[in-house]
Structure 1
């Protein structure tokens, strides 16, 4: 399958703030677009299937899409993206979302929403990457470009703080998984990885710019190479280990080493990145295992990649 998107989902903020709006459907999107952007009123609207938990996505005509937050957190992300995406776009080596229209609450829908340019490509799939070394090089180039950005007033990245801020949630998730034997997670090994990382040196330099959610669902590839990075709702500054996620959630072992080498990652940062990636997977698996197959499958992949032989 090919096709682009500026999709919205993918970090799965378990819980989220605020209730969900009423029914979002094609009719609502048509009324919102027609009322606020009359020039696009005659274009076709079609729901775009997504495993997302933060936004609903609709195709608008041939070259746009509409993204509507499902939670109050997601609504805050929409506003943040309007501020920062145009400034980041000039400083990264691949396409990122371009906001074409800033929608406001209306027609019973309570939050800001946006119209984006459609981006071509497809999501890569762990275990089926066409050009793993090339993709590793591309991802390293993107991460390096992000970390070199110097824009004042940056927000703090979601999950970008000290590793200890994830400690309680990680340990709780491990105990939940002990009670789900059918998942076959080696919880003792997971705990050992987490505790080893907790003992590693913390990041003690100034925070760097991060995407902070480099999941396969937030990447678009073309013929195996990185074409676009999407969904910047977690962006901000923080520990650079937060942008090492693709090493374990997507890349095979050989390409993982290429990714690390291109970035010049020191041992302590690598250890923290591995633990952060594992933590996200451990939390996601019990939460999504029965309701979001795509996110649950990626969580299982990460757990295998981290706990398996390096």
Structure 2
């Protein structure tokens, strides 16, 4: 079942022909599709060391080429400061064989995808998360500011999308309570100057061996943004005590912590209804994250109002 109305078809046969046509040096390597909860790319492993990533949603090919070039630059920059292995760009592919967009090849990073329920109480994992976020924040922005839309900028910029989510979530979630929370979240002031952030620290982008992080995926969004943005990982991944540990390790004040919850809330609201039938894993992640946010005593409406009055 496709996840998006504009989703492109790509299967092993098409992927193999594109690889043989454009990168004949890999024509004898085994190829297999990797099953993930990812929503942006179809991923195929090439032999033991490489992956091919094919964008799933229709776009202008020249625009997508620019996107992939920028993502490759961001990945190279992330490699310098990330304390854990992260994929490195290898090559860019062109449209062909009925597939309409450019695509990319990068190195394979071994590890198991992080599972929120399994790692929720893992202190070692929480400390590794803190190390990751600290390391990314320490990278220089070189004067860059947030340059996109959506997560990482102005919370109020998500109002229109959130209204769609509230309407679509009627009957799935306690919408009245969630609307009240969003009213508090959207009024929070900026948490401070932009820092370098991964931008999408969801479980699917973290690889583990036991309780240790051993890889960080999807680094193409590494950029300057709201310093609270990467705190979404706390709400997606950790229980109350481990979130408190992460917060202490990062020395987050109330405002930064509340904005991190706001970005996790904004992301989770879109996951629950949009992927209910087509990607149950992502929908379940949204449910788990929203339950943690609703249960968190520090996110009461009066507490958010106090942060918003700064």
Task: Please say whether Structure 1 and Structure 2 have the same fold, judged by a TM-score greater than 0.5.
Answer: yes
**CA shift for structure 1 position 27:** 2.0
Q: Does 1:166 align with 2:158?
A: yes
Using the TM superposition, give the Cα deviation of residue 131 of structure 1 relative to its aligned residue in structure 2, in angstroms. 6.3
Residues in 2 aligned to 1:111 and 1:98: alpha-carbon distance in whole angstroms: 21
Q: Structure 2 stretches of 5 or more lacking a match?
A: 298-310
Q: What is the TM-score when the length of structure 1 is the normalising length?
A: 0.86
User: Per the alignment, in what secondary structure is the counterpart of residue 228 of structure 1?
Assistant: strand
- Specify which of 107, 113, 124 is matched with residue 103 of structure 2: 113
Q: Deviations over 1:160-197 (max 9, x none)?
A: 1111111222233223322x2xx3x2222222222222
**Residue of structure 2 equivalent to 1:250:** 237
State TM-score, norm by structure 2: 0.86
Q: Say whether the 8 Å CA contact 2:95–2:103 is kept in structure 1.
A: yes
Q: Is the 8 A contact 2:201 2:233 kept in 1?
A: yes
Q: Residue 38 of structure 2 contacts residue 204 of structure 2 at CA under 8 Å; is this kept in 1?
A: no
1:76 Cα deviation (Å)?
Answer: 4.9
Deviation at 1:232, TM superposition (A): 2.5
Residue of structure 1 equivalent to 2:14: 28
Matched residue, 2:249? 262
Q: CA RMSD in A?
A: 2.2
Q: Gaps (5+ residues) in structure 1? A: 1-11
How many angstroms apart in 2 are the aligned matches of 1:161 and 1:151? Answer: 15
Q: Which residue of 1 aligns with 2:113?
A: 123
Counterpart residue number, 1:9: none
Could you say which residue in structure 1 is the equivalent of 2:27? 41
Is 1:296 the counterpart of 2:283? The answer is: yes
1:281-310 deviation digits (Å, cap 9, x = unpaired): 112211111211011000000111000144
Structure 1 residue 54 and structure 2 residue 45: aligned? Answer: no
Pair 1:251–1:74, CA change in 2 (3 A):
farther
Residue of structure 1 in register with 2:84 after alignment: 94
Measure how far apart 1:220 and its partner are.
0.4
Instruction: Describe the shift of the 1:120–1:130 C-alpha distance in structure 2 as closer, same or farther (beyond 3 A).
Output: farther
3-state secondary structure, aligned to 1:90: helix
Q: How many residues align?
A: 289
Distance in 2, matches of 1:145 and 1:309, equals 27
Larger helix share, 1 or 2: 2
Q: Deviations for 1:103-134, whole angstroms, at most 9, x for unmatched residues?
A: 22233322221122111111121221186211
SS in 1 for 2:213: strand
Distance 1:175 1:278, change over 3 A: same
- 1:214 aligned to 164, 183, 201, which one? 201
- 1:151, 1:303 → 2: CA distance? 31
User: 2:182 is matched with which residue: 184, 190, 194?
Assistant: 194
CA distance in 1 between counterparts of 2:163 and 2:99 reads: 38
